[in-house]
A and B are shown apart, each in its own frame.
Chain A
Amino acid sequence: MAHSETGAARAGGKPRDAVVYVYGVVPADVEENPEATGVGEPPSPVKLVRSGEIAALVGEIPSGVALGTPEDLTAHARVLDSAAAEVPVLPLRFGAVVTDLDAVANEFLEPNAESFAGILRDLEGRAQFVLRGRYDGDAMIRELMDEDPRIGQLRGEIHGKPEEVTRDARIALGELIGRAVQAKREADTRVLASALDELGFPVVAGEATNEWDAANVACLVELSRQDELREAAERFAEQQDGRIDLRLLGPMAAYDFVLPAEGSG
Chain B
Amino acid sequence: MTMQAGGGAGGAMDRPSASGLADVIDTILDKGLVIDAFVRVSLVGIELLTVDARIVVASVDTYLRFAEAANRLNLEESRSQGLPDLVEGMEESGAKSKTKGALQAAEDKLGELVGGGDEEEDVEEEEEPRSRRRSRR
Contacts and interface: CB of A to CB of B under 8 A. Distances in A.
A107 B83 contact: no
Contacts of B128: 78, 82
A188 interface: no
Interface of A: 4, 6, 9, 19, 22, 24-27, 29-33, 35-38, 46, 48, 53, 57, 63-71, 73-88, 90-99, 103, 107-108, 117, 121, 124-127, 129-130, 132, 134, 136-139, 141-142, 145, 151, 154-155, 158-160, 163, 167, 169-171, 173-175, 177-178, 181-182, 206, 208-211, 213, 216, 222-224, 226, 230, 233-234, 237-238, 240-242, 245-253, 255-256, 258, 260-261
Contacts of B77: 138
Contact of A246 (B57, B81, B86, B137): B86
Nearest to B18: A249
B116 A70 contact: yes
Contact of B44 (A66, A117, A155, A160): A66
Contacts of B60: 171, 174
Interface string B43-69: 111101100001101101011111111
A235 to B, nearest CB: 9
6 contacts: A30-B132, A84-B17, A107-B38, A137-B69, A210-B102, A233-B89
B133 A141 contact: no
Nearest to A170: B67
Contact of A182 (B57, B80, B110): B57
Contacts of B46: 67-68, 94-95
A87 B26 contact: no
A38 B129 contact: yes
Nearest to B137: A29
A236 to B, nearest CB: 8
B71 A159 contact: yes
B69 A138 contact: yes
A59 B4 CA distance: 25
Contacts of B24: 73-74, 77
B12 A73 contact: no
B6 A126 contact: yes
Given A36-B131, A138-B73, A247 B35 contact: no
A87 B86 contact: no
